């Protein structure tokens, strides 16, 4: 119980309490070991242990105790960090699952794989620039990236606004004029990062 409590305290970054409880934990461990070696009830060895540790300032017994205490605290820190890492990983995975688009792709991951020129267009919310970039790209490469953007929800096809040229992907027209629509706008293409060009 004390060991688990130590880990809990380390996770909560309560260092002073960790120091106290970890010391108590190792003391208990030594008392139990002493009682076992003497075949006595642990309660009968309390005074014996504290007398021994007090009089053994420079002895191997005291050194062994200090080494065990240091090692125990290292293990506590390691277990606490592992617990924190697991919690962070679980949280990140939950957030990733929330982001997944209709095709099961993560828009953040998809954005990171886009060519720099396309990234710049998204960051600036510049539709004409995006149209020019796509027009200059190899058709197969452009189609690949556009499909991934749709599958991730980075773009959501639909809408009736035809004021700008459409991008052709796999034989289907995708309305680029609505790329910078808010996520909650049901018409056109939605940009998962939200906002408008005037925001930047």
- Candidates 71, 80, 79; CA nearest to 26 is 71
Q: Which residue has the tokens 């197969």?
A: 140
User: Is residue 66 classed exposed, middle or buried when 0-12, 13-18 and 19+ CB atoms within 10 A define those classes?
Assistant: exposed
User: Rounded to the nearest 10 degrees, what angle do helices 15-38 and 46-54 cross at?
Assistant: 110
Q: Count the neighbouring beta carbons within 10 Å of the beta carbon of residue 132.
A: 14
Q: Which residue has the tokens 């305290």?
A: 9
Spell out the residues 6+ positions from residue 37 whose beta carbon is closer than 8 angstroms to its own.
none
Put simply, whether the predicted model's pTM sits higher than 0.85 gets the answer no
Per-residue model confidence (pLDDT) at position 96:
82
Spell out the residues 6+ positions from residue 2 whose beta carbon is closer than 8 angstroms to its own.
21, 24, 25, 28
Per-residue model confidence (pLDDT) at position 114:
92
Calculate the alpha carbon distances from 59 to 38, 56, 65 in Å. 20, 5, 10
Q: What is the 3-state secondary structure (H, E, C) of 155-193?
A: CCCCCCCCCCCEEEECCEEEEHHHCCECCCCCCCCECCC
Q: What is the CA 129 to chain-centroid distance, rounded?
A: 34
Calculate the alpha carbon distances from 54 to 77, 79, 184 in Å. 28, 31, 70
Spell out the residues 6+ positions from residue 200 whose beta carbon is closer than 8 angstroms to its own.
123, 124, 125
Cα three-residue angle 58-61-65, rounded to 5 degrees: 100
Per-residue model confidence (pLDDT) at position 157:
64
Per-residue model confidence (pLDDT) at position 58:
53
Per-residue model confidence (pLDDT) at position 184:
33
180: left (phi over 0), alpha (psi -120 to 50) or beta: alpha
pLDDT tens digits for the chain (200 residues)? 778 888 888 888 888 888 888 888 888 888 888 888 888 888 878 778 877 777 765 577 788 888 888 999 899 989 999 999 999 999 988 888 888 877 888 888 899 989 999 888 878 878 788 888 888 888 888 888 888 888 888 776 654 444 333 443 333 344 434 333 333 333 333 344 444 444 44
Per-residue model confidence (pLDDT) at position 158:
55
Per-residue model confidence (pLDDT) at position 165:
36
Per-residue model confidence (pLDDT) at position 80:
92
């Amino acid at each position: 119980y004390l060991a688990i409590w130590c880990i809990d305290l380390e996770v909560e970054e309560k260092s002073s309490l960790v120091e106290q409880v970890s010391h108590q934990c190792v003391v208990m461990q030594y008392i139990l070991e002493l009682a076992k070696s003497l075949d006595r009830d642990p309660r009968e060895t309390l005074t014996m242990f504290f007398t021994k540790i007090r009089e053994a300032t420079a002895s191997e017994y005291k050194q062994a105790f200090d080494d065990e205490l240091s090692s125990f605290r290292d293990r506590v820190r390691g277990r606490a960090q592992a617990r924190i890492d697991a919690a962070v990983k679980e949280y990140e995975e939950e957030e990733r699952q929330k982001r997944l688009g209709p095709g099961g792709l993560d828009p953040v991951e998809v954005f990171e794989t886009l060519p720099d020129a396309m990234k710049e267009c998204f960051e600036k919310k510049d539709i004409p620039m995006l149209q020019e970039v796509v027009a200059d790209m190899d058709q197969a490469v452009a189609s690949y990236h556009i499909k991934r953007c749709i599958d991730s929800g980075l773009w959501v096809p639909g809408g009736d606004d035809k004021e700008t040229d459409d991008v052709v992907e796999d034989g289907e027209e995708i309305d680029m004029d609505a790329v910078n629509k808010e996520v909650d706008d049901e018409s056109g293409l939605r940009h998962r990062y939200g906002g408008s060009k005037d925001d930047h």
